[in-house]
Every structure is written in structure tokens, then in C-alpha cells.
Amino acid sequence: MSKKGSGPRKYTGVSSLIFTVFLWAYAIFSLYPMLWMILYSFKDNTEIFQTNPFGLPKVWRFENYVNAWNQYDVPLYFKNSVVVGAGTVILTIICAMMFTFAVTRLHWKGRDTARTFISTGQFIPVQAILLPVVQTVSALHIMDTYWSLILPYAAINLAFSCMVYYGFFKGIPKEMEEAACIDGASIWQTFFQIIMPLVGPATMTIAIYVFLSAWNEFLLANVLVGTTANLKTLPLGVLFFQGQFTTDWGSMGATMVIASLPAIVVYCLFSEQVEGAMTTSGAVKG
Amino acid sequence: MKKYLSNRKAIIVFCLPAIILFCVFIFIPILQVFYYSFFDWDGVNKATFVGLANYKRLLFKDPVFKIANANGFKFGAVITVYQLVLATIFAIAVSDKRIRFRKFFRTAYFIPVVLSVTVVCQLWGNVLNADNGLLNTLMRMLGVEWSQNWLNDRGTAIYAVAFVNAWQWMGYQFALIVAGIKSIGEDFYEAAEIDGATSLKAHWYITLPLLKDTFNFCLLISVTGGIKAFSEIDIMTGGGPGNATYTLTYIMYNYAFGRQKFGYGLTSSAVLVIECLVIILVLNWLFKDRETPLFARRKGAELA
């Protein structure tokens, strides 16, 4: 509702200048470490530490990326991260969508209790249950498989995903199922052919959020696959790299860029959904 | 129709995967945390029931617990103040249509959130490193004799680590507050402008009181975030120097994964869960709608 003619007052004066400078200064502070990482991924050790720590590389050493990719295990870490991320997204979405459908659209006693039960997951700190989760994973004999990460990750994201779905499922008019029922569709057909496409936007939001959180996860990955060389994800690879190849900082920088790039690209493409998803979790938690 | 939607088989099939997953990986583990906190257990042999002995030892005899607990609150205080103050200022700024480059600022402030904690810790580790860290190098280049061993000094280490967390997650609270401001109607501000309120005043009396629930949640995540702190500590200081940066999670990690004292480690986890719950309850009580508000809500309503 902007009034025509008398536009909003413009900011003028010294205080607003200081404020603008402050906004820019923090933006630089927020972005610079990343920029610095990108620049040093193109430098060699001498440049990073002695001659040129801050500026643009004098020679752009693309070989750092080639080294990271060929000599170290970056492709393996990358593959692990992709598999774990995709697996977590798929499993979380299947479980959350079916569950929310059952507690919002189907009629049964105890559905509110079931929903509350799952939503308590929001309040359980992952840090506290690390050890029992590790023991559960080893008792199920899924240690040293991708499932050792995918199953706990999906469980952790379940409460949040159900919450995002809940709002969407509640908004679907109940005539949808009635019409489907009259047309003779089974409850399964109704779910897969009518409801599933309708909650597409929620699915998208959840997929992006869950993918990012699985891609960056460190806490559980550290204790579950931290010592299993062939299952390490990129966040662990970045650390392992530091321990093993401290002599080659340029390649280490390249590895960090490779680890961060997919998440940054996802954010830039879907910034609305990412922020939307995070703020939904806030709205209900609080 | 009713029968159609009470299909027992469908209900079971739809619910079971989520319920099983949640029970196996979240619900049973949290019960185990409390159960084994009453036992002396190495994870292999039979656990011996010891009653409250673990709790007595942890709370009253373990000198590390005091450090860890204090660190949790220091960590929480740093990230709460840093994130809440900056996030509020920036959120108000990018919600103001008169500010230019709002989209850029929004992205710039949020982007550290999508980085992995290991990458962020590596970056800041390189900045704060004592020998050839970026910060000390910068000081040397500027000719200032002021080099600090941020991460290896017992006094500064916990604050340095907390700062890294605060830097990374400020954008999260920023996004929460931006979303909160979006939900406030424009007419509130138009009314304030007609009444002659400056924008600073308008924000003080309208934005802040109306964002009560958002602030409640922001405080909740940053205060409990301090108590739960672990990743940055594990990566950047390993609990050191000495035990100066231990937190409750780190005690658990050390006893459970380092010394095979599972019962004692889980006692620390149990205390962690209880502290988080108490904080949630206290915050919800503080922010509860009441007749005489703790905050200047009514003033905002009058002005609007």
C-alpha cells in the first residue's frame, strides 16, 4: 500500500551513512572468509603464507583442483555425500508424507497422539543421543554401509518434515478424497495419484532443507563413519585432509570449495525455499 | 466415506515406517540415555546398577563439569548476544524498502549457514591460527605488535570458538526475524508514520514487541545451542588447551568414545537434555502472554 505522490521518506544524514557503511562492512565480513578460501584454493603454500595471503593469486593454479580430484579421495567423498544426501531425502519424504497423510486425512483414534509423539523429536538434541545411536546402528549390523548414515539422518529430519507437510495436508479440501472415493479409487490410488502431486511444493521445500542438512552434517558422521575410509562424506574429508596433507594447502582449499559449492548453488537457486523451510521450523518450535 | 478413510490396513502401512524409524533412532536412544545414566557400564560387559552415583560424581565431584557447564553458558551468551543483536538490526534493514541492494545483503548475511561446519572451522582456524593465521599476519603487516594465540589461550579459547559458531549461524536468526517482520502488516508502520514516529521509534514500539514469538524461538536456539556446543570445539580445540573448552557434550564424547565409560558419559547427556528442557520451559514462561507484560507490548498497541 504505497501512497502515490508522497513516496516514503529517504534516509539522509550522517547516521544513515554510518548505518550503510555498517551494513556493507558486515556483508564483507560475512563473505570474505569464503572469498579468501576460493582465492587460496588457487595459490601455492608460499603465496598463502608468505608473499600474498590476501590478494588475488599471481598465478591461477588450477592444478590444485586437479590434484584434489585425482590424488586425494575427493571423488569418493563426493560420491558418498551425494548418495547419503539423496538417500536421506528420499527416505525422509516417503516416511513423512505417508505419516502426515495418515494423521491428517484418515480417521482413527490416537492420530493426534501419534503426531505429537513424532513432533517431540524437535526437542531432542542429537548431541545427547550420539552414543545410543551408534550402538543401535552397530546392533542392526548396518555399520560400514550407507544405511548407517541414511537411517539416523532421516529419523532426525522426520519431525521437521512432518511439520511442514502438516500445514499443507490440512489445507487440502476434503472433497478431494470424497470425489476420489465416489469415482472408485482405492485409498492407495488417492494417495499416490491425487494427494502426492498436490503437496509438491512442500516436498520441494523439505527436499532442499533435508539435502543441505545431510550434505553438511558432521556430528553423527564423525562418530559413525569417521574411521571408515570408504564411507567418509565431504565434511569429514575436509578434516581428514588437514590431518594427512597439511603440506598442500592449495589442494586443501580446492577440496573445501568442492565441498561447499553444491550447497551454495542449491541455496542460490532456491533461496526462498531454504529460508522458508528454516523459518517454518521456527514458527512451530517457538 | 467414513469407512473409506478408516481403512485400518492403510493407516498401519502409512504410519509404520515413520514410527519405527523415529522409535529406533530417536525415542529409544533418548530413553537409553536416562536408563544407562544409572549404571556403571563399559558398553560390552553387563551393566551394574549404581543408582545416583554417576550424577553425584558428575555434579559434585567432577571439576571438569563445572568448567563444561560454565562454558556452555559462556558459549550461549556469546552467540545469543552476537546473533540476536546483529540479526535484528540486519533484518530490520533489509525489510526496509528504502535500503538499496537488499537482495545482496540478504544473501551475504545468510550464506555462511549453508556451509559445512567443518569448512567454517577450517576457515576460521586459519584466520585465528597463532603462527601464520590471517589475523596475526594482518596485524604484522599493519605493523602492530599484537599477536594473540586465540585458540590456545585458556582465557580466550571458548570465546573464539563461540564466535565462529555465532558468525556462521547469525544468518539463520536473521532469516527468522526477516520472516517475522514480513508477517507484520504494513498499516502498523503507516499509522506510526502518520503519528509522526521516527522509523527507529516505530521499530522499537511495533517491530520488537510484535516479534515476541520469533525472539522466543531465537533465544531458545541460541541458549540451548551453547549448552549443546560440540562440533566447533571438537574440530578447533579438541576440548583444550587442557580442558578449558570442554562442554557437556564433550564430556560425554570423551567418556563414551575415549574411555569406554558409557554410563558416566550418558549421565552428562542426561544433564544436557534436562538443562535444555528447563531452558525451553523458562523461556516459554517468560514470553507467555500475560495481563501485565514483561515487555512493552501494550505501548506498541497504543501507538498503532
Is the Cβ pair B116, A114 closer than 8 Å? no
pLDDT digit string (tens) for chain A, length 286 residues: 333 333 445 556 777 888 889 999 999 999 998 998 899 889 887 777 777 777 788 888 888 888 888 878 889 999 999 999 999 999 999 999 999 999 999 888 989 999 999 999 888 999 999 999 999 999 999 988 999 999 999 999 999 999 889 888 888 888 888 888 888 888 888 899 888 998 888 899 899 989 999 999 999 999 998 888 889 999 998 887 766 656 778 888 888 999 999 999 988 888 887 777 777 655 443 3
- Predicted confidence (pLDDT) per residue in B265-293, tens digit: 999 999 999 999 999 999 989 988 765 54
- SS3 state at B130: coil
Does some domain include residue B136?
Answer: yes
How does residue B304 score in pLDDT terms, banded at 50, 70 and 90?
A: very low
The C-alpha torsion from B21 through B22 and B23 to B26, rounded to 10°, is 120
Cβ of A127 within 8 Å of Cβ of B19? The answer is: no
> Tens of pLDDT along A130-142?
999 999 999 999 9
Contacts with A159 from chain B: Cβ below 8 Å: 22
List the domain boundaries for chain A. Answer: 14-61, 68-285
Residue B92: inside a domain: yes
**Residue B289 neighbours by CB under 8 Å, 6+ apart:** none
Number of separate domains in chain B = 1
> B124 in contact with A at a CB cutoff of 8 Å?
yes
Candidate from A8, A98, A123 with C-beta closest to B280: A123
Contact B186, A3 (CB under 8 A): no
Give yes or no for B270 touching A (CB within 8 A): yes
pLDDT in tens, B162-219: 999 999 999 999 998 988 888 887 788 888 888 877 777 888 888 888 888 889 989 9
The distance of A211 to chain B (nearest Cα, Å) reads 11
Task: Report CB contact under 8 Å: A30, B167.
Answer: yes
Which CB contacts under 8 angstroms, 24+ apart, belong to B133-142?
B134/A36, B134/A53, B134/A54, B137/A53, B138/A54
Residues B138-166 have pLDDT tens digits of 887 787 777 778 888 888 899 999 999 99
- The domain in which residue B193 lies consists of 54-303
The C-alpha atoms of residue A266 and residue A250 are separated, in whole angstroms, by 25
CATH 1.10.3720.10 fits A68-285, yes or no: yes
Q: Best residue in A18, A47, A127 to probe B by mutation, most B CBs within 10 Å? A: A127
To the nearest whole Å, the CA of B216 is away from the closest chain A CA by 6
Shortest CA gap B196–chain A (Å): 12
From chain B, pick out residues whose CB is under 8 angstroms from the CB of A158.
Answer: 18, 21-22, 26
Quote the CA–CA distance of A199 and A169 in Å, as a whole number: 7
Chain B 46-85, residues with CB within 8 Å of chain A CB atoms: none
Q: Do B14 and A27 touch (CB under 8 A)?
A: no
Q: What is the reported pLDDT for B301?
A: 44
In this predicted structure, what is the pLDDT of residue B104?
Answer: 92
Contacts of B173 (CB under 8 A, 6+ apart): B83, B84, B87, B218, B221, B222
SS3 state at B49: strand
Average pLDDT on B209-238 reads 90
- Residue B246 touches chain A, beta carbons under 8 Å: no
Cis amide bond preceding B241, omega within 30: yes
Q: Do B138 and A188 count as a contact with CB atoms less than 8 A apart?
A: no
Per-residue DSSP letters for A236-249? HHHHHHHHH-TT-H
Pairwise CA distance, residues A210 & B79, whole Å: 24
pLDDT, tens digit, 9 for 90 and up, residues B66-122: 999 999 999 999 999 999 999 999 998 888 888 888 889 999 999 999 999 999 998
User: Are residues A2 and A8 in contact, defined by beta-carbon separation less than 8 angstroms?
Assistant: yes
Does the beta-carbon distance from A107 to B190 stay under 8 Å?
no
B181 CA: distance to closest CA in chain A (Å): 12
CA-nearest residue to B264 within chain A is A131
Q: Which of B271, B225, B232 is nearest to B248 (CA)?
A: B271
* Dist CA A21 CA A15 (whole Å): 10
Cβ–Cβ gap B138/A256 under 8 Å: no
Which residues have CB under 8 Å from B75's CB, separation 6+? B158, B161, B162, B165, B225, B226, B227, B229, B247
Closest of A24, A51, A50, A54 to residue A40, by C-alpha? A54
CB atoms within 10 A of CB B76: 22
- Say what the pLDDT of residue A281 is: 58
Any idea what DSSP says for residue A183? T
CA B257 to centroid of chain Cα atoms = 24
Q: List the single residue in A118, A127, A267 with the smallest CB-CB distance to B22.
A: A118
Sign of dihedral through CA atoms A135, A137, A142, A148? negative
Helix (H), strand (E) at residue A210: helix A200-216
Interface confidence, given as ipTM, is 0.86
pLDDT at A12: 62
Are B19 and A118 within 8 A, CB to CB? yes
B7 within a domain of the structure (yes/no): no
**A105 Cβ contact partners less than 8 Å away, ≥ 6 residues apart:** A169, A172, A174, A177, A195, B5
Q: Which of residues 198-227 of B touch A (CB under 8 A)?
A: 213-214, 216-218, 220-221, 224
CB contact at 8 A, B279 and B220: yes
Tell whether B285 is within 8 A of chain A (Cβ): no
Q: Nearest CA of chain B to the CA of A108: how many Å?
A: 6
CB B23 within 8 A of CB A155: no
Instruction: State in Å, rounded, how far the first CA of chain B is from the last one.
Output: 49
CATH of the domain at B96: 1.10.3720.10
- Rounded CA-CA distance B22/A285 in Å is 18
Work out the pLDDT band at B16, boundaries 50, 70, 90.
Answer: very high
Nearest-neighbour CA in chain A from B301: distance (Å): 21
* In-domain check, residue B214: yes
Q: Between chains, do B21 and A234 touch, taking CB under 8 Å as contact?
A: no
